[in-house]
Amino acid sequence: MLYRLLADSVVVLHLGFVLFVIFGGLLTLRWHKIVWVHIPAVLWATLVEINHWICPLTPLEFWLHQKAGDEGYQGDFLIHYIFPLLYPENLTLPTQTALGLFVFTLNVGLYGWIFRKGWRKN
In a domain, 122, yes or no: no
In a domain, 58, yes or no: yes
Q: Which domain holds residue 113?
A: 2-117
Q: Are 107 and 35 in contact (CB under 8 A)?
A: no
In a domain, 41, yes or no: yes
Name which residue leads in pLDDT, 94 or 74. 94
Q: Is the pLDDT of residue 93 over 50?
A: yes
In a domain, 10, yes or no: yes
In a domain, 97, yes or no: yes
Mind listing the pLDDT tens digit for each residue in 95-106? 888 888 988 999
pTM confidence score: 0.71
Mind listing the pLDDT tens digit for each residue in 66-80? 888 876 545 444 455
User: Total structural domains in the chain?
Assistant: 1
pLDDT band at residue 44 under the 50/70/90 scheme: very high
Q: Is the pLDDT of residue 43 over 90?
A: yes
The count of residues in the chain is 122
Q: Are 27 and 54 in contact (CB under 8 A)?
A: no
CA distances from 10 to 3, 13, 85, 115, 118 (A): 10, 5, 14, 34, 36
pLDDT band at residue 115 under the 50/70/90 scheme: confident
